[in-house]
Structure 1
Amino acid sequence: MKKIMLPFAMVAVLALIPFAGVQYAGLDYLFGVVIPYAAAVLFIAGFVYRMVDWLRRPVPYNITSTCGQEKSLDWIHHDKIESPSKPWHAAVRVLSEVLLFRSLFRNNKAEFSKGPDLVYGSTKWLWLGGLVFHWSLLVIVLRHARFFFIMVPGFAESLDQLDSFFDITLPAFYVTDALALSAITFLFVRRVSDAKMRIISLPTDYFPLFLLGGIVGAGVLMRYIAKVDVMAVKDQMLRLMSFSFDPPAEIGALFYVHLFLVCMLLLYFPFSKLMHMGAIFLSPTRTMLNNSREKMHVNVWRQPMKIRTYSEYEDDYREKMKKAKLPLEKE
């Protein structure tokens, strides 16, 4: 329980800090200008540092992870995606992982049934929950592009219309808001309801879920319940995009809670498991080509080996071999 309550309490405290600071101490400038700029700089620097650090790591072996037929003779079917032999094969493979979670779709779970039998089952719900979670957040982020441009980009306007196609509330109800909260809830319940998952889960597994839940929850509250001035929000975002340090207009404490949690996510991102967003594009098991039959892969760490002949060995130990009465090739 401590592994769950500690990250939950941390997110609650993070949400209370900007609320109290803006509502009672008038720290709009700190939470509206200083912290967002600092978070953006540290996020970019941390992200670039982690990516460069990974790129500098040597990969001496061909360690492609495959589950398909390697390119061989012409009359043997070659699985181009599962066992890539060309760069575009590997690119399709990586993109299928990024966009469709292809390997997770084929993932299975193993558990004991009654008796000693090991039973394998499907984990399609995990695949669906993960897919909904990531795609919903992506659509929400892209929809927010309308706050960062004077003229709303065409893709943001199209996504906005598509996301609110139900048109059942005023303001319009966004499907991705409900899907994101549902997916976060599903991923949390999955961890706490499964004994095995509870054992291996760490506070760092729960913290991002609570943090993202707080961000989405604050956004939903601002849109449907405690409404804020959208034009004031856009004005402040445009100022940040233009690198202006002018003080923000009065918007409301809830907006600063939302913004501050986003800043905390940016600060946390480069130093957490969330960096898998960038790491997937550098994973050698996914990006390397399985072409060991076409190309010889030499270990770049291999040092030249000094070869010692038997004649040299006998020259060094001839006297000792004589005393031991061992046979010699030459006296």
Structure 2
Amino acid sequence: MKAIFSLLMVLALVVIATVGAGAAKMQTIFAYCIPGTAFIIFVVGFVCKIISWAKSPVPFRIPTTGGQQQTLDWIPQNKWDNPSTGPQTFIRMALEVLTFRSLFRNTKVVLKHDDGKNPIVAYVSAKWLWLFAILFHYGFFIVIVRHMRLFMQPVPAPIAFLDWSDSILQILTPSIYISDLLILGGLTMLLARRFTDAKVRYISLVNDYFPLFLILGIALSGVYMRYVAKVDIMSIKDVVMGLVTFNYKVPAGVDVSFFVHLFLVSTLLVYFPFSKLMHMGGVFLSPTRNMPNDTRMVHYENVWNNPAIKPHSYEAYEDEFREPMFEAGLPLEKTPEDAA
């Protein structure tokens, strides 16, 4: 039901854009007003969320580690999984962001049986999730960068080269983009995993399905525009450049599928800062990732320790609350009779 509800919400967005920009002839609103407002909400929400995370105090070193910490000279240190210096932490963050290193090392628990048919709990490699995530994220990144050619005139050479290399296979007319296949393949596999894996399906919520269906809708509407409707790309660029330069004009000769695509993108921009998708910025501020594990080399003191607050030992705590603890049946080192 959660997946169906999420799918229905995305379909409702498609209907709203189709009716609004088609039958209701509100192309200007869907071309300029809604995307402009969505972009402002995205930027303000993203910045506010990052600032709130950056202001959160982290008084202790709490990195998540997966290897040998630096100790004695003759014990090899795992520098990338348990960094102790700033440069090592930078390498670890780069591997995490660019290659999803921790996800690559992911394992899953399975129940096997030995020769005597006795059940044995085992941990096996689970690289498929890493592969799906890599396909989706890099496909999505290439699509975003490639779309920058619509916002610039003239188009910078690196973006033009990326656009050319993305369609280098030159299959069909117009040419199929490799990034389209990557993002559709990755999204399909990630959705299939949530449907087929009982454990993942049990813990999945609406806010897990909705962004996947929304991005899938964006990708499919983009594919439809390019390969089925075959929209006039120059007319679309005129609309986009008008949005960028604040030189608004009524869109002419643009297929309604473009407004559906743009409306779904605008919905994603509004949804982004308030969803789990904010891990895109949050990964850089995660103290479990961006802190070196140097607790054996540097002594840290809690700066919020109030000197006026004295330590309260368990012995003093029990002396203060012995009677209520005894009445509640809690274990005591001294009963009220012994303390008397």
TM-score normalised by structure 2 residue count: 0.87
Q: State the shift of 1:236 in Å.
A: 1.2
1:113 is paired with a residue whose SS is: strand
Choose from 228, 240, 244 the match for 1:237. Answer: 240
Matches within 5 A, 1:207-218: 207-218=210-221
For 1:101 and 1:138, the matched residues in 2 are separated by 14
Q: Amino acid of the residue matched to residue 34 of structure 1?
A: C
Unaligned runs of 5+ in 2: 312-338
What's the counterpart of residue 96 of structure 1?
95
Unpaired segments of 5 or more residues in structure 1?
Answer: 309-325, 327-331
Look up the SS of the partner of 2:109 in the other structure.
strand
Instruction: Give the match for residue 124 of structure 2.
Output: 121
Whether the 8 Å contact between 1:167 and 1:173 is mirrored in structure 2 is yes
Q: Tell me, what secondary structure is at the counterpart of 1:90?
A: helix
Match 2:182 to one of 179, 182, 186: 179
CA contact (8 A) 1:33 1:247 kept: no
- Give the deviation of 1:307 after TM superposition: 6.0
State which of 274, 281, 299 in structure 2 corresponds to 1:296.
299
Secondary structure at the aligned position of 2:229 is classed as: coil
The alignment partner of 1:64 has SS state of coil
Confirm or deny: 8 A CA contact 1:145 1:153 kept in the other structure.
no
- 1:18 alignment partner in structure 2: 17
Residue type matched to 1:211 in 2?
A: L
Aligned partner letter, 2:305: R
Structure 2 distance, partners of 1:18, 1:307, is 63
Rounded Cα–Cα distance in structure 2 between residues aligned with 1:119 and 1:67: 19
Contact persistence 1:83–1:289 (CA under 8 A)? yes
CA distance in 1, matches of 2:143, 2:89: 29
CA contact 1:65–1:286 (8 Å) conserved in 2: yes
Match runs of 1:255-270 below 5 Å:
255-270=258-273
- 2:166 is aligned to 163
1:201 corresponding residue in structure 2: 204
Contact 2:229-2:255 within 8 A present in 1 as well: no
CA distance in 2, matches of 1:295, 1:135: 38
Percent of aligned pairs with the same residue?
Answer: 44
Alpha-carbon distance in 2 for matches of 1:306, 1:153 = 62
Deviation at 1:306, TM superposition (A): 5.5
Matched residue, 2:41: 42
RMSD: 1.8
What CA deviation, in whole Å up to 9, does each residue of 1:295-328 have, x standing for no partner? 11111222215669xxxxxxxxxxxxxxxxx9xx
- Aligned pairs, how many? 309
Letter in 2 for 1:113: K
> Corresponding residue for 2:50?
51
Which of 132, 136, 140 pairs up with 2:139? 136
Bigger Cα displacement from structure 2, 167-176 vs 5-14: 167-176
Which residue does 1:33 correspond to in 2? Answer: 32
- 1:301-312 paired onto structure 2 within 5 Å: 301-304=304-307
- CA deviation profile, 1:27-67 (whole Å, cap 9, x unmatched): 00110000011000000000011111111111121111112
CA distances 1:120-147 after superposition (whole Å, capped 9, x unpaired): 2211111101001100010111111110
Q: How far apart are the structure 2 equivalents of 1:239 and 1:306?
A: 62
1:75 Cα offset (Å): 3.5
Find the residue that maps to 2:72 and give its secondary structure. Answer: coil
Distance 1:258 1:99, change over 3 A: same
Cross-structure match for 1:74? 73
Q: Deviations over 1:62-93 (max 9, x none)?
A: 11111222233334323222222222211111
2:120 is matched by which residue type in structure 1? D
**Secondary structure class of the residue paired with 1:22:** helix
Secondary structure of the 1:19 match is helix
**Rounded Cα–Cα distance in structure 1 between residues aligned with 2:10 and 2:228:** 21
**Segments of 4+ moved more than 6 angstroms:** none
TM-score of the aligned structures, taking structure 1 as reference length: 0.89
Q: Secondary structure at the match of 1:111?
A: strand
SS of structure 2 residue aligned to 1:159: helix
